Each structure stands twice: as structure tokens, then as C-alpha cells.
Structure 1
Amino acid sequence: MTTEVMSGAPEVVAGTPAPGAKGDAGADSVRSVLDTTVPEVSRADRVRSRDVEDFAVPTGREEEWRFTPLHRVRALFDVVPAAEAGGVGVEVRTDDEAVSVREHGPEETVARPGDRAAVVAAASAAVRRTVSVPAETSLAEPVHVDLRGTGGRGAVDLVVDVGAFSKATVVLDHTGDAAFAGTVGIRVGDSADVILVSLQSWDDTAVHVGQHDAVLGRDATFRHIAVSLGGDLVRLDVNVDFTGPGATSQCLGLYFADAGQHLEHRLFVDHSQPSCTSDVRYKGALQGEGAHTVWVGDVLIRKEAEGIDTYELNRNLVLTDGARADSVPNLEIETGQIEGAGHASATGRFDDEQLFYLQARGITPVQARRLVVRGFFAEILQKIGIEEVETRLLEVVERRLSDEALAEVPEPTPAPAS
């Protein structure tokens, strides 16, 4: 198994590498590390519970919290009455009469919290909404769920329930200012096709800690797209569980961190059913002093999950000195009967040869850097498949890559010659 690990902790592989395992050792790597030691604790052993008492308040020494600046999220670790957690308003917009929206009780949540912030969000939620699409229904237009921060603290529990043989796209749009903790549960029925897009377009002072749990039925298709551009701190956990064979999951992500901004994405794909497929692809850019991104990808292939094909990739482009990207891919394999399993992670700066090539043809340094970054993001942007979302994201990326913005950003210090 060929593996590329660029930053963060070394990867951990449990079990014997399976025949057909895939990997990536691209030229954009800075260094390569392979660690085949068995982890002390399997990802399968981590607690997932709706009981607040099952999760202690983090200290920063825990593996799942070691990258997160706890002083910026500590307020979200305490349970409060729902009346005090109403700092985020929720509006569901759809023109399709087949879609129903209702309030649900705490016992109806799909979320299986995996950390203190998620369980507190589930317990404190001021708004609980279920968006349902009946079986054998194909929605022509996306369902929009607007989550608008009005200041203060907010907690929301959402459920997206799509029946068998249905097709739906749901767009979650986070805007405004809040200290927000939210849970989203997605039920994907047998042979259903669901796309969920989560846009983190918060104001500069917002804090968002969220967990998304997707439960896939037999032969289901699910695509999760996370785009984090705004907010002071965003930490999003995405969990995918398979309940029947033949399902396909794809998790895509795009993020762009500015000075002082912390953007953290964690994924766990739990393969417990045979003949399923998963694909994870996240790309991020960083610029400015103190910009920090974290990506942690966990894939578990259980003993009974034979015939699995899985791959995860993370790429980070550092535009300036003073920015830091941590990238940790983890793959645990408990069976040798798989089609393929691999992962890749790379963090690097601008390619000097690319910049030289462009500038040698009369393109200014600022324009050259913009073209390189735009090309870096192109793969993820093209996979979103929702024109209105793609257009909006391109506008934000272009604004951050404008002549004025890039002119104010110093180029990174050249790497010393080897």
C-alpha cells in the first residue's frame, strides 16, 4: 500500500494491507511517511451516545480535540435550557408539495453524538425540524434550509428523511453570527439518491461546532458536500454508516482559511456491510498569519464488510507563511477480502515552476497565483453539480483571490535548496 502523509500525525493501518489497495504518491508531496502500527484504540471503540454524562468536558489532551482551540468553543460544552439556545433561526424553503416539514421530539433524533459538543447540541436544541421526502419521489429543485445566526448561542437538531427510491438535494446555508452547535441526521432509504450540501458562510466572529450523521440503506447513493469559508472557527464532523449492501457514499469538501481562522473537518466512514463504496475528497487553501486548517479522515472496514472499495484524499495549498495545515488520514482494515482501499494527504506551497511558467508568458505574479488556486479548487467545484451553489462559491473564491486581496498577501518564504 503506497501512502502519502504530509502533516499531522502519521497514518495508522490496522490489519494486513489487502490485495488491490490503492494509493497516491504525487509530485506535490513534501515528505512521505508510512506507519503500519496497530492503533491503541480502534475508531470502532469510540463512544457514540445521547447521554451527556457519557462525555467529559474536553481538556485538549484527547485525540479528537487535540487540534481544536478549546478556549474558543468552551461555551458549547455546557447544557442550557432550549430557551437560551435560540440564537439561530431556521427556515425551510421548497416549492415541492411532496416535501413535508414538522417539529420532532428529542427521542426522534437520528444523531448519535460522538463528542461533548454534539451531545450538548442534541440535548439543548431550541429548534428541532424533520424534512421528509416520501418514497418514490424525485424532487426537481433543491430544498433549502436557511440557518441564520442572530447573535448569542444557538443549538439546532435537524433530520432529513428521504424514502426508498427517491431523489433529493438539500442545501444547508449557515449565515450570520452565533455560537452554534448543531446536529444533522440524514436517513437515505433503500435505492434512494441524496445530496446534502452544507455551506458555512458565517460572519467573521461566528463559532460553529456540528455533527452530521448519514445512515444509508441498501443500494443507496449519498453525496455530502461541505464548504467552509466563513466564521472564526468551524469544526464539522461527518459520519457515514451503512445499513445494507451495495450503497455508495461520496464526501467532498472545500475550505479557504484566512488569518486567524480555524477550519476543522473530521470524517468517519464505517463500512459494516458488504459490497459498498466510499470516496472522500477534501481540498483547502490557507493564507494569513494564524490561519489553521485540520482534516482528519477515518475509514473503518469491519470484518463482515467484504468487497469494499474505499479511498480518501486531502490536499492543502499554503499561500503564505504563518499558516498551518494538519492532515491525518487513518485507515483500519479488518478483512483482506476487499476490492481496494487507499488514501493520500499532501500539504505544500505554490509550485515555483508553475508560477515561473505563467509569469514567463506575461502574466503578473498576482494573476498567476490566482490561476493556480482556481485550478486547485476546480476538481471539487465541478463535482458539486448544483449550478447556483457553484456560482456562489466561485464568487467568494474569486473575491479572496482578487488583485487587491492577493496584493496584500506576502508570498511564502522560498524553501531552502537541498
Structure 2
Amino acid sequence: MTTLQTEQHGFKAHSDGDWENRAPVQTRSERLKSVSLADFPEVTGREVNWKFTPVAQIKSLLGDKLIDGSQTFEISEAEGVELSTVPMDSELVGRGGIPEDQAAANAWGQVQAAQRILLTSQDHQTVIVKRSALTTEPTAAHTIIEAAPQANALVILENEGDAHLSETVEIVVGDAANLTVVSIQEWNDEAIHLAAHNATVGRDANLQHIVVSLGGKIVRVNPSIHLDAQGANGEGYGAYFADAGQHLEHQVYIDHNAPHTRSRVAYKGALQGEGAHAVWIGDVLIRRVATGTDSYEENRNLTLTEGTRTDSIPNLEIETGDIEGAGHASTTGRFDEEHIFYLQSRGISEDEARKLVVRGFLFDVIQRIGNEEIEDRLQEAIDAELKQSVLA
């Protein structure tokens, strides 16, 4: 008598070979991290963190020679602000986190030194860091923003002009400090900007991280916020407006690595024109030690015309059941016709009503900046976008 032997489905190696070693990393925290470019395999565009990015257009930033552009910004004066140059082998470098992809590793290895902005004042200070002197030559940069314990500050990074830039921004928030970091991208139409923002937040400290992406051909700003001490609070907000042929990408990572931490993530975007593409990936990890965690993330997209594309992927990984709460949401859609009808009933034309909805949709994020002059300027920039729209 012959007994039929069957193997478990999926047990055998895949016919394309090396099945075990080719399985993708499923856990966000297990991704390869290294300051050495040689440790990363060549980017093909099929990787989980590159599959939505136009890789062919950014190849020079992934592995080619880069010039050092770390000192190409101007910084405003404020009480308790110290600017210094730090060697890349200093112990002050890498505290926010180290590279998780080829672009960041390539930039890390080619800058001569990091520019460190140390904030020490306990009285609220506003610091403007303006960068507009870059060129189209492939460039690397490294900036450290550090808030000393109990410091209180708003740091605004303004990016304008030409760029072909890959950079790391490290953010270190000391115990009981309150820090808001705002990164504004208003690049020229052909600019390419890849940025890794790596942050660590201390005990009972607060970090509010805000990204506003309006200009540039390809903009990819990826914030990673590590809540490494009890009572740490991290908030990530974003507003973006993608036009025809423009690629705006934001991959957000919140790492709850201590008890009683809190996070909020809210990104909102508008898209118009053929080929406008927005990508948002939100990863939240609640580790086993992070009891009492309170977390929520959301992404909302408003499509204004046909021909646009959005990729919105929220991910939530929980290793402990002892939490306050965790959740996520993602929506992409057209105008709410009830809102339009309400405004029309008040004597506002349909076109103007649609513009008002877009302004209010994005301003919900922009008003969190806390600087009236910057908020007004960004609102004007959004109005300019809308004037060029087919809605006009």
C-alpha cells in the first residue's frame, strides 16, 4: 500500500531561488541601519521603502559622489542659540538615529562635518534657518538640532531655490524640553530633495514636527521619531500640494520605546494636474516596554482634478496589550459636495467655494506652526497654487 505524502503549502523554496533570504523585512524596527553605503544593496525600486519613488531620477543621490553642502544656510540670531561645526566621528553625531536607506547613508559618508544648532533658552525662542544657495550639483548635508533639557524653541527650516540634495537632520530633545521643528520645501520646479529627519525625545519632553511640501520636482522627507523615555510626546504633522508631474513623498515612523508615551500624526495633501503623485506611509511601533501608550495616525488627501495618484499606507504594530489606545485612518477623495452647497447658499460662487475648502483643509496643519508671518506666507503660496488650478 502506498501512502501519499504531501508537504505543507509554502514550505518549499520558491522557484526563483534563495527564497529565505529574499523575503522582505516585515517589522519596521528590523530594517537595516548603517552609516556605511556598502552595507546596503543596490536600489531596484522594488524595495518596500522605494517602490513608490521614481528611483531612476534620483540615482545620483543613491551612490554617486556628492559635494558637502552642510554650511549653505543662514540662521537668525536668538537668545540661547549656539551654532557650531561638529566632526562626523564626534559622539554628538548619530544620537537621533542612523541611516536606514542608501540615500541617507551616501550623504552621511560624504559630508565633512555636521552643523549643530544648540538651543538652551527656557524662554520661547524662534530660530529661522534659511537655505537658498544650493545648486543642481548632487549635494550632501547633515544638521543637528538639539534642545537642551527644559529648553523651549521653534526652529523653521526654509528651503528655496535649486537643489539636488540628500541630507540628514538629527533632532535631539532633552528632558522636559519643548521643541517644534518645521521643514518647508518651496524649491524650484526641477529641484530634488531627499531628507531623513531622525529624532529622539527625552523624558516628559515634547516634539512637534511639521513638514510643508509645496515646491520641487521630487521631494521625499521621512521623519522618524523615537520616544525613548517615559512621558515623551511626539507629534508629526504635514501639509502638501502636488501639481502636475510633481512627486511628494513622506514616510513617517513613530517608535514608542518607553512607558506612557504619546503620539499624534496627521498629514493632509491636495493634488491637481496630470501625473501629480503623493505618497504617505505611516509606521507606528509600540514596543513591549511601551505600556500605557496613546497613539493615533491619519492621512487625508483631496484630489482636485483627474490624472492624480495617491498612495497612502498606515501601518500599526503593537507588541503589548497594555496601552491606552492606538489607531489609524486614511482617506482619499474629492470635495464634500455638502460643504460646497453650504458655501454656495451663502452667496459664494462654486469655484470660490472649492478654493475655500482647499485653504481650510491645508491650513488646519499650517496653523500649528505658531509663527503668524510664516503661516501667512504659506497661505499665500497655496492661494497661488489655486490660481493656477483648473478650478480658477
- Amino acid of the residue matched to residue 274 of structure 1? P
The one-character-per-residue Cα deviations of 1:166-198 (angstroms, maximum 9, x if unpaired) are 111111111111110010001100111111000
Using the TM superposition, give the Cα deviation of residue 381 of structure 1 relative to its aligned residue in structure 2, in angstroms. 2.3
2:75 alignment partner in structure 1? 92
Find the aligned partners of 1:90 and 1:58 in 2 and give their Cα distance: 30
Contact 2:88 2:113 in 1 (8 A): no
Q: Which residue number corresponds to residue 34 of structure 1?
A: none
1:113 to 99, 102, 117: 99
Tell me what 1:321 maps to.
306
Cα 1:86–1:223 change in 2 (3 A) is closer
Q: Name the structure 1 match of 2:366.
A: 381
**Cα distance in 2, alignment partners of residues 87 and 238 from structure 1:** 19
Q: TM-score, normalised by structure 2?
A: 0.89
In structure 1, the partner of 2:179 is 194
Shift of 1:270: 0.7
| Residues 88, 178 of structure 1: 8 Å contact kept | no
Could you tell which deviates more after superposition, 152-161 or 108-117? 108-117
**Alpha-carbon spacing, 1:126–1:79, altered in 2? closer, same or farther (3 Å):** farther
**2 CA distance for matches of 1:319 and 1:241?**
35
Aligned-partner Cα distance in 2 for 1:211–1:87: 14
Change (3 A) 1:205 1:175: same
User: 2:323 maps to what in 1?
Assistant: 338
Task: State the one-letter code of the partner of 1:90.
Answer: F
> What is the match of residue 54 of structure 1?
39
Among candidates 89, 95, 109, match of residue 123 of structure 1: 109
CA distance in 2, matches of 1:274, 1:218: 10
Task: Read off the aligned partner of 1:265 and give its amino acid letter.
Answer: H
Larger displacement relative to structure 2 (321-330 or 236-245): 236-245
- Aligned pairs for 1:342-361 (under 5 A) are 342-361=327-346
> 1: distance between equivalents of 2:240 and 2:111?
27
Alpha-carbon distance, 1:209 to partner: 0.4
Say whether the 8 Å CA contact 2:70–2:142 is kept in structure 1: no
Indicate the SS of the match to 1:229. Answer: strand
C-alpha deviation, 1:325, in angstroms: 0.9
Counterpart in the other structure of 1:166: 151
The range that moved more, 341-350 or 374-383, is 374-383
2:138 pairs with 1:145: no
Q: CA deviation at 1:298?
A: 0.1
Q: Aligned in 2, Cα 1:225/1:217: closer, same or farther, shift over 3 Å?
A: same
Conservation of the 8 A alpha-carbon contact between 1:87 and 1:151: no
* Structure 2: runs of 5 or more not aligned: 1-23
Q: Flag the 1:205–1:381 CA change in 2: closer, same or farther, 3 A.
A: same
Aligned length: 364
Aligned to 2:245, the other structure's residue is in SS state: coil
Partner of residue 287, structure 2: 302
Distance 1:88 1:190, change over 3 A: closer
Inter-CA distance 78–85: structure 2 relative to 1 (3 Å threshold): farther
Q: Matched residues in 2 for 1:276 and 1:373: separation?
A: 33
Q: Tell me the CA shift for residue 127 of structure 1.
A: 5.8
Identity within the alignment, %: 45
CA shift digits 1:65-104 (9 cap, x unpaired): 00001111111012426xx3449822222232x2111111
Measured in 2, the distance between the counterparts of 1:307 and 1:87 equals 40
Once residues 112 and 200 of structure 1 are traced to their aligned partners in structure 2, the CA distance between those partners, rounded to angstroms, is 23
SS for the counterpart of 2:316 is strand
Distance 2:37 2:84 in 1: 25
Residue 129 (structure 2) pairs with residue 157 (structure 1): no
Residues 228, 256 of structure 2: 8 Å contact kept: no
Query: Counterpart of 2:320 in 1: which secondary structure?
Result: coil
Counterpart check, 1:365 vs 2:347: no
Equivalent residues in 2 for 1:70-81 (5 A)? Answer: 70-80=55-65
Q: Distance in 1 between matches of 2:27 and 2:180?
A: 29
Q: Which residue of 2 aligns with 1:69?
A: 54
Return closer, same or farther for 1:245/1:355 CA change in 2, 3 Å cut-off: same
Change (3 A) 1:88 1:69: farther
Query: For the aligned residues, what is the CA RMSD?
Result: 1.8
Paired AA for residue 107 in structure 1: D
Cα gap change, 1:347 to 1:243, in 2 (>3 Å): same
User: For 1:366-394, what per-residue CA distance to the aligned partner results, in whole angstroms no more than 9, with x for missing partners?
Assistant: 20111111221232123222212211111
1:86–1:159 Cα change, 3 Å: closer
Residue of structure 1 in register with 2:232 after alignment: 247
Q: Within 2, Cα distance between the matches of 1:306 and 1:280?
A: 19
Greater relative contact order (CA < 8 Å, ≥ 6 in sequence): 1
Alignment-mate amino acid for residue 106 of structure 1 = M
In structure 2, what is the Cα distance between the partners aligned to 1:328 and 1:338? 23
The amino acid that maps onto 1:120 is N
| CA distance in 1: counterparts of 2:34 and 2:193, whole angstroms | 21
The correspondence of residues 174-323 of structure 1 with structure 2, limited to 5 A, is: 174-323=159-308
Note the residue ranges of structure 1 that are not aligned, 5 or more in a row. 1-38, 411-418
Specify the SS of the correspondent of 1:383.
coil
Q: Cα deviations across residues 290-311 of structure 1 (Å, max 9, x unaligned)?
A: 0000000000001111000000
Does 169-178 or 371-380 show the bigger shift?
371-380
8 Å CA contact retained: 1:101, 1:131:
yes
CA distance in structure 1 between the partners assigned to 2:139 and 2:77 by the alignment? 24
Distance 2:347 2:203 in 1: 55
- Paired with 1:314 and 1:74, the residues of 2 have a C-alpha distance of 28
Describe the SS at the equivalent of 1:306.
coil
